[in-house]
Structure 1
Amino acid sequence: MTPRRGAATADSARPRRTRRLTPLFLGRHLLRLVVSLAVLVVASFAMIHLIPGDPLRQMLGPTAPKQLVALRRAELGLDDPLPTQFGHYLQHLLHGDLGTSFFSSQSVSDLIAQGLPNTLSLAVLATLIALAVAIPLGMWGAVRTHQGRRRGTETAFTTLTGAAVAIPEYLYGLTLLLVFALGLGLFPPAGLTGPTSYVLPVTALAIAPAAMIARLARVETLRELDTDYMRLAHAKRLPPWRLYAVHLLPNTLTATLTMGGLLLGGLITGSVLVENVFAWPGLGQRTVEAITQKDYPVAQAMILLYGALVLAINFLVDLLLGVLDPKSALSAPARQEG
């Protein structure tokens, strides 16, 4: 009977998770989301219009007659004052109309619908793979180096993960492309031709986030290993699977999953360069082309879309943190049961 009571003591020593959020928490974060979206709309309009250059000259060519340029400028409303143009832009945006590309005359909504699923698939797959690799790796590094043991392992872990974080995703992409696609011919070098097409771009996107999450998971695991409930669990000589999977893992996931969610937003925007490296049929090439050509409707829509996705993911991460983190001031205190 004594081990049973000891096990209950170890379980009761673990941090309790609160599951209830206050209306104030939800309202404050919803208000922050709405304000951020409003700022994003203004910024996406201003950023494109402040870039030097004339989109009509790029579209019609430098030798186009001035009368034709003036006619097209009037048709597109580009000769109106910027406040008037912004008013028209906002009016169309509120009605779900993102406009039409200056260059392809294609609906911006159609362009986004064609490329967004491929961009999201890269970012989501990279995040899932990064979490699946980084969490066990970080926990292993913490257990191996706990209480100052194996200094060599700790040095190698921090050095390698630090270097992996510092290298940009597009350099990983170029290296993988040269070695595994063009050199060894193991994977397709460009485009989306099947499941194997995902391997190189997803790997390029996942390496740096995996290293970052592994470092965080190690720090969180080291902190948990020094808590009372883990000392009790160790003293009871629980099986390793129960010690680490049942007792340790759930209490190291809060900060790690939060970081994973934030990195997902970064991967969506960071995939632009990787998509260009692998000629991926996502939004990356469309975004670069639209900005360089000053294709106002497309560029504004892409900036707005990327920003809105990041804000939405951050909002969901805040909600998740409020639910999982019992120490967070954003979550409601759990009621005491009588």
Structure 2
Amino acid sequence: MAVAVAPAGLRGSPWLSFAVRRLGRFAISLWVLITTAFLMIQLIPGDPVRAALGLTAPVELVNARRAALGLDDPLWLQYVHYLGGLVTGDFGTSMTSGQPVSEVIGDRLPATLELALPAFAVVIAVAIPLGLLFAVLTRGGRRRGGELAFTSTTVLLAAIPEFLLAVALVAFFSVQLGWFPVAGNADASSFVLPVIALALGPASVLARIVRVETLSVLGNDFIRTARAKRLPARLVYLRHALPNALTATLTMGGLMLTGMVAGTVLVENVFAWPGLGSTIAQSILQKDYPLVQGIVLVYGIGVLLVNLTVDVLLAVLDPRSTIRET
């Protein structure tokens, strides 16, 4: 396997070379995302302003809204204005309410983060210990019944769509038993069902990955060496096995976090959660394309930041990944 030679200014610093490559990839991906979001309105058949305001809207109002949105300008000029607006935090203006898109996003984003971040924390807190535990219990072909139960249960739970799970949770725990609120985020109890709906599937998938990776690590020579030194089992599993199993776990965890962002759209609508997910669904129905455009851009930037963070964490765990290989 050949190793590419870093440029002269970076030869002594693999971390600097790694940072340049990752930030360059991030910048290119961000530009593609921004351009795609900009073209969203341009590619919509017909007049997006007329579609948003309705067929009965006066021509004067439609023309005024088009002028306010800059849709009468040449395409290149619209693109320049769009980029300039993003630099200053201006995502445009809502076609239906006339409110700045950045204000709408600023009002709704905290609610989405309040739901997505605890759900991700639950996934990590449940999946890693559970996967490690069942790897230890079933290593070497032991406890076939426990392995079958673990695999069957996690496969079943992972196969349930977030939307269907959310509806079932509401029907049973809110409507039938009355233990939790049906909708909204008024108090701490309102978080329980939405977080479960978001976290249950990803936690099941990640627990299986942790188990498989841990079983693979437990077969390595350094684990046998650690056991030969008669180290306590706790140190063997937590200090030697788990850190080496976390590489694939972090990669999948980052992918799942981005998937959970999309899952919030469905879950928020089931629980009438006042976040970006319910807002984008509503704006699609209202054909409020600038608002859809802004929310899609925020979701996309969030995905790029998650991927960048995962790359950095993987490099910290395995510094060899900072060396570019071909």
- TM class, shorter-length: 0.7 to 0.9
Partner of 1:274, secondary structure, is: helix
Task: Return the match for 1:200 from 187, 193, 205.
Answer: 193
CA distance in 2, matches of 1:53, 1:290: 18
Task: Call closer, same or farther: CA 1:49–1:165 in 2, change over 3 Å.
Answer: farther
Task: Call closer, same or farther: CA 1:172–1:164 in 2, change over 3 Å.
Answer: same
Task: Call closer, same or farther: CA 1:75–1:238 in 2, change over 3 Å.
Answer: closer
Matched, 1:104 2:97: yes
Which amino acid in structure 2 is aligned with residue 126 of structure 1?
Answer: A
Matched, 1:314 2:307: yes
Matched, 1:90 2:89: no
Matched, 1:119 2:112: yes
Alpha-carbon RMSD across the aligned residues, in angstroms, is: 2.2
Between stretches 48-57 and 279-288, larger displacement belongs to: 48-57
Partner of 1:294, secondary structure, is: coil
Partner of 1:22, secondary structure, is: helix
Are the aligned partners of 2:41 and 2:290 in contact in 1 as well (CA < 8 Å)? no
Task: Return the match for 1:31 from 17, 24, 27.
Answer: 24
Task: Call closer, same or farther: CA 1:88–1:266 in 2, change over 3 Å.
Answer: same
2:249 aligns to what? 256
CA distance in 1, matches of 2:153, 2:261: 25
Once the two structures are TM-superposed, the CA of residue 185 in structure 1 deviates from its matched residue by 0.8
1:11 aligns to what? none
Partner of 2:178, secondary structure, is: coil
Which amino acid in structure 1 is aligned with residue 224 of structure 2?
Answer: R
CA distance in 2, matches of 1:49, 1:198: 38
Post-superposition Cα deviations, 1:54-91, rounded to whole Å, max 9, x if no partner, equal 44334433223334433433343333444443332222
1:50 aligns to what? 43
Which amino acid in structure 2 is aligned with residue 161 of structure 1?
Answer: T
Are the aligned partners of 1:165 and 1:209 in contact in 2 as well (CA < 8 Å)? yes
CA distance in 2, matches of 1:146, 1:286: 47
Are the aligned partners of 1:44 and 1:304 in contact in 2 as well (CA < 8 Å)? yes
Once the two structures are TM-superposed, the CA of residue 140 in structure 1 deviates from its matched residue by 1.7
Post-superposition Cα deviations, 1:294-321, rounded to whole Å, max 9, x if no partner, equal 3232111111110001001101110111
Partner of 2:186, secondary structure, is: coil
Task: Call closer, same or farther: CA 1:317–1:137 in 2, change over 3 Å.
Answer: same
Between stretches 138-147 and 215-224, larger displacement belongs to: 138-147
Between stretches 137-146 and 47-56, larger displacement belongs to: 47-56
Matched, 1:220 2:244: no
Q: What's the TM-score once normalised by structure 2's chain length?
A: 0.88
2:72 aligns to what? 79
Unpaired runs of at least 5, structure 1: 1-19, 333-338
Are the aligned partners of 1:323 and 1:331 in contact in 2 as well (CA < 8 Å)? no
Are the aligned partners of 1:120 and 1:268 in contact in 2 as well (CA < 8 Å)? no
Which amino acid in structure 1 is aligned with residue 321 of structure 2?
Answer: A
CA distance in 2, matches of 1:46, 1:59: 17
CA distance in 1, matches of 2:165, 2:98: 35
Post-superposition Cα deviations, 1:120-147, rounded to whole Å, max 9, x if no partner, equal 1211111111111111111122122212
Matched, 1:329 2:310: no
Which amino acid in structure 2 is aligned with residue 330 of structure 1?
Answer: T
Task: Call closer, same or farther: CA 1:128–1:110 in 2, change over 3 Å.
Answer: same
Unpaired runs of at least 5, structure 2: 1-12
CA distance in 1, matches of 2:185, 2:239: 40
2:132 aligns to what? 139
2:223 aligns to what? 230
Q: What's the TM-score once normalised by structure 1's chain length?
A: 0.85
Between stretches 222-231 and 307-316, larger displacement belongs to: 222-231
Task: Call closer, same or farther: CA 1:230–1:210 in 2, change over 3 Å.
Answer: same
Are the aligned partners of 2:182 and 2:271 in contact in 1 as well (CA < 8 Å)? yes
Once the two structures are TM-superposed, the CA of residue 251 in structure 1 deviates from its matched residue by 2.5
CA distance in 2, matches of 1:120, 1:45: 25
Are the aligned partners of 1:322 and 1:331 in contact in 2 as well (CA < 8 Å)? no
Which amino acid in structure 2 is aligned with residue 329 of structure 1?
Answer: S
* Percent identity between the two aligned chains: 54
Which amino acid in structure 2 is aligned with residue 173 of structure 1?
Answer: A
Task: Call closer, same or farther: CA 1:188–1:258 in 2, change over 3 Å.
Answer: same
Are the aligned partners of 2:265 and 2:276 in contact in 1 as well (CA < 8 Å)? yes
Once the two structures are TM-superposed, the CA of residue 322 in structure 1 deviates from its matched residue by 0.9
